[in-house]
Amino acid sequence: MIYEFSDLTLDLDRHLLTRDGQPVKLTKLSFRVLQALIQAAPALLSHDDLIDQVWGPKRVITPDNLSQRMKTLRQSLGDDPNQPTYIEGVRGEGYRLVPEVRIQSALTSSHSPRQALSSRLLVSLAVLALALGYIAFDKFVLDPVEDGQLAQSARQEGHSAALTESIGDKSIAVLPFVNMSDDAGNEYFSDGLSEELLNLLARIPELKVAARTSSFSFKDKDFEVTEIASRLKVAHVLEGSVRKQGNQLRITAQLIQADNGYHLWSETYNRKLDNVFQIQEDIAIAVVDALKVTLLSEIPEIRKTDPAAYQLFLEGQYLKRRISKDSLDRAVEAFKQAVEIDPAYVPAWAELADTYIWGGRTEGLTRKEAVVLADQAIETAISTDPDYAFAYYVRGISWIFTKYEFKQGIEDFQHALRLDPDDAFIVAAIGKGAFLTGKFDLAISQYQMALAMEPVVPEFYWFLGRTYLSSGRLDDAEASFRKLLSLSPSSYGRHDLWKPLLLKGELEAALAES
């Protein structure tokens, strides 16, 4: 495929950028960044989507690193960031290509389809060779018996929605509550309150609760409740709004039966911020009563903290998910202030560690110094509450992605899963560990379980497709990548769909998807 824009031409098959017929030197990463921007044009490519497409999902790329990469690319193109000709940056959001892009099929060039695909074939063979190489780690990284026991325990002990029959009319999705405050900056609070309420309901074994990523994928989208419920495979939807004015809260919640739109319950709470935890408990109790759920135990206890620390915690979570340099740095400060107010608030310690790992840092810290602080925060969280699963998940991420110690990382993922078998991302983390060590059957099983729990998470389909590809299940790999693209057309997976097609001998289809 050949792309023309302004006075430049990018030939993907020859891996060549030219200006008026003369080569323009680019590093490999700069080439991939430019390719991602071109293929997204004219749309804005967010920071996290750019990282996904160039480096791959869940890679820890700091905002500084990304900024430096864009600087290098601009220098190669001769572009001025203050008056951009080629690449425009939108502060805190992402980048877009300025000139119009014209596509010229590689078939019209002097290269035949066979030549155009030859380099891709080599890449695909390299992928398969690498997959075979993973198996060499099998005998000393993971115990095959332990793998089987782990997968079995996840099925038998998890009691999660993914591993049992549907609870039917006891199923529910919690949509993000709408921010009705005069200050749009309070969106972090309405989002955070919705997520905390979702987490509380998810801890009630008698309920099937759609997980956060799935429910929040419908935020700001115009879907009928019936359609949302159908996609999330639930019978009920909880929605609401939050108005926050200083220390005063007005929270409205309503429970809707999806098949007929009937409101089973609704309530408005006018309380002070100090009562926010009681409001969550009241809503949970009302939902349980409305669904006529017979509890085998009490409503799970909410992890409470100082209201000021809680606000900072919710703000930090909101900022962290935006994954820009500024937002990650601000998230670090929010979590640090939260633990200063309440040093025993374990969720804030764990989130602080995770944010450091993702690149959030202040006061001119180096990457190495930030990792040290992340490790300290993780150990504080674990020593304060040895049963907090997310802390072990974060420590596993740190082992694998900052120290490249797979064995220790996988052990932490396994422990996190034992503590919280209903967390889809922990289930998927076990799959990542299995994939990295060549245990493709276990990886596939874990990704399938994660998708049963969170059916609309694009990255799960990417991991699953990649594992199918490495294990030679080409039709399944193609199906996974196509599902990924239906959920997220700009995702990194669009660079993988051609691989199973090529290996199946479908050369024209592979070329079309390249």
- Asked if pLDDT for residue 22 goes beyond 70, the answer is yes
Contact 173, 221 (CB under 8 A): no
Please give the pLDDT value at position 241.
92
Distance of CA 337 to the CA centre of its chain: 25
pLDDT-derived band at 254 (thresholds 50, 70, 90) equals very high
- Asked if pLDDT for residue 134 goes beyond 70, the answer is no
Rounded distance, CA 75 to CA 68, Å? 11
Rounded distance, CA 450 to CA 467, Å? 14
Note the pLDDT tens digit of each residue in 43-72.
888 877 788 788 776 566 666 667 778 888
The average pLDDT across 464-479 equals 94
Q: Is the peptide bond before 205 cis (omega within 30 degrees of 0)?
A: no
- Asked if pLDDT for residue 314 goes beyond 50, the answer is yes
The string of DSSP letters for 122-143 reads HHHHHHHHHHHHHHTTHHHH--
pLDDT-derived band at 500 (thresholds 50, 70, 90) equals very high
**pLDDT-above-70 percentage for the chain:** 83
The average pLDDT across 227-234 equals 87
Please give the pLDDT value at position 7.
86
When mean pLDDT is compared across 13-17, 134-138, 218-222, 476-480, the lowest value belongs to 134-138
Note the pLDDT tens digit of each residue in 148-159.
344 434 333 333
Please give the pLDDT value at position 398.
92
- Packing angle between helix 389-402 and helix 346-358, nearest 10 degrees? 20
- Asked if pLDDT for residue 261 goes beyond 50, the answer is yes
Q: What is the DSSP letter of 245?
A: E
Distances (CA, A) of 214 to 32, 252, 456, 458, 484: 30, 22, 5, 10, 14
Distance of CA 159 to the CA centre of its chain: 24
Q: What is the pTM of this model?
A: 0.61
Contact 414, 148 (CB under 8 A): no
H helix runs in 203-263, sequence order? 212-216, 225-232
Note the pLDDT tens digit of each residue in 349-373.
999 999 998 887 766 788 888 899 9
When mean pLDDT is compared across 42-56, 218-232, 403-417, the lowest value belongs to 42-56
Please give the pLDDT value at position 411.
94
Please give the pLDDT value at position 40.
83
- The domains of the chain, with CATH numbers, are 2-108 (1.10.10.10), 112-141+423-514 (1.25.40.10), 165-290 (3.40.50.10610), 305-420 (1.25.40.10)
Note the pLDDT tens digit of each residue in 33-42.
999 898 888 7
Distances (CA, A) of 40 to 491, 492, 505: 10, 11, 28
Tokens in use for 17?
């950028």
When mean pLDDT is compared across 155-164, 269-278, 402-411, 414-423, the lowest value belongs to 155-164
Match 């044009």 to its residue by tokens.
41
- Asked if pLDDT for residue 325 goes beyond 80, the answer is no
Distance of CA 203 to the CA centre of its chain: 22
Rounded distance, CA 233 to CA 215, Å? 11
- Asked if pLDDT for residue 195 goes beyond 60, the answer is yes
Question: What's the burial of 100, exposed, middle or buried (CB within 10 Å: 0-12/13-18/19+)?
Answer: exposed
The average pLDDT across 28-33 equals 85
- Asked if pLDDT for residue 168 goes beyond 60, the answer is no
- Asked if pLDDT for residue 132 goes beyond 50, the answer is no
- Asked if pLDDT for residue 137 goes beyond 80, the answer is no
- Asked if pLDDT for residue 103 goes beyond 80, the answer is no
Please give the pLDDT value at position 57.
61
Match 């820890």 to its residue by tokens.
60
H helix runs in 41-112, sequence order? 47-54, 63-77
With residue 87 as reference, give the H or E element that holds it. Answer: strand 87-90
Rounded distance, CA 145 to CA 148, Å? 5
CB contact set of 162 (below 8 Å; sequence gap of 6+): 424, 427, 449, 450, 451, 452, 453
pLDDT-derived band at 175 (thresholds 50, 70, 90) equals very high
Contact 444, 424 (CB under 8 A): no
- Asked if pLDDT for residue 312 goes beyond 80, the answer is yes
pLDDT-derived band at 490 (thresholds 50, 70, 90) equals low
Please give the pLDDT value at position 356.
92
Could you tell me which residue, 127 or 420, shows the higher pLDDT? 420
